[in-house]
């Protein structure tokens, strides 16, 4: 007859000691319209990614600001009217994993685009009515 061991079964565990990694995917050099979609990629080797946040700034210097809502899945709709109006924007993301490790801010922006009302170089097609 087989004897039962007084010891429990062997259980393996993995310790999560590393922060997650994320990045905002490249954007076109110019974007037309007040709203556009940003995409990100994020990964974590152990506990998994909990949340990915977007940071942005208008121009190439100055303070970074956090967008008020995190990425939904891997996309986020950015609206310049909720930010600082039309112009050049730079973006980066940072992620948090399920054991609360936070990714550090990158040294440079992940992506940038210049947001305009209409394509650069276009002219208005509005015509004033002829008055008699």
Reported as a single tens digit per residue, the pLDDT across 40-77 is 999 999 999 999 999 999 999 989 999 999 998 899 99
- Strand ranges (E), the chain: 21-24, 30-32, 35-43, 49-58, 65-66, 75-79, 87-97, 111-116
Which residues touch 55 (CB under 8 Å, ≥6 apart)?
A: 64, 65, 66, 67, 91, 92, 93, 94, 105
Give the residue, 23 or 1, on which the prediction is more confident: 23
Helix (H, G, I), strand (E, B) or coil at 105: coil
What pLDDT is recorded for position 128? 41
pTM over 0.85: no
């Amino acid at each position: 007859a087989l004897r039962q061991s007084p010891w429990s079964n062997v259980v393996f565990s993995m310790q999560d000691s590393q922060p997650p990694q994320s990045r905002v995917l490249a954007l076109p050099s110019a974007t037309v319209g007040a709203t556009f979609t940003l995409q990100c990629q994020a990964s974590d080797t152990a506990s998994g990614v909990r949340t990915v946040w977007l940071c942005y700034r208008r121009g190439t210097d100055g303070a970074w600001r956090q967008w008020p809502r995190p990425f939904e899945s891997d996309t986020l709709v950015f609206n310049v009217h909720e930010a600082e109006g039309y112009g050049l924007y730079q973006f980066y993301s940072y992620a948090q994993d399920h054991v609360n490790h936070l990714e550090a801010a990158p040294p440079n922006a992940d992506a940038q685009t210049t947001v305009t009302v209409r394509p650069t170089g276009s002219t208005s097609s509005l015509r004033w009515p002829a008055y008699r």
